[in-house]
Amino acid sequence: MSEIPVCKAGEIPDGGTRLVQVGPVEIGVIFHKGQYFAYRNICPHQGGPACEGLKLPQIVEKIGDKGVHLGQDFDENDMHIVCPWHGWEFHLSDGTHVIDKRHRLKKYEVIERSGNIYVAV
């Protein structure tokens, strides 16, 4: 397994993405709340650049007594990557589609060593 250099630790802003080309494969490295995540930048739906989409928290419906809808809120602990082509959403934590777990982004290991960030491919 090869380690591909991405950047120095701290160069990607919170919520930001750095794209890395490894031969024909483009990988998006995303930094969120102190953690790095890396996924192949191809949406399984129709090949869109998934990692370049918005990063948004899960929307949670608030339901009160007797089923009364009280509005919506955000679950900041469940961030999603939203493909910019057709809006398919994937959990940032593991790359699985938010509705159908059979669909997922290819995940790569991120290594932080001596102040540098690498992706294992």
- pTM for the model stands at 0.90
Query: Tell me, what amino acid is at 100?
Result: D
What are 14-43's pLDDT values in tens digits? 999 999 999 999 999 999 999 999 999 999
What are 45-86's pLDDT values in tens digits? 999 999 999 999 999 999 999 999 999 999 889 999 999 999
Decide which of 3.50.50.60, 2.102.10.10, 1.10.620.20, 1.10.3720.10 is the CATH code for 3-54+81-120.
2.102.10.10
| 39: nearest Cα among 80, 67, 86 | 80
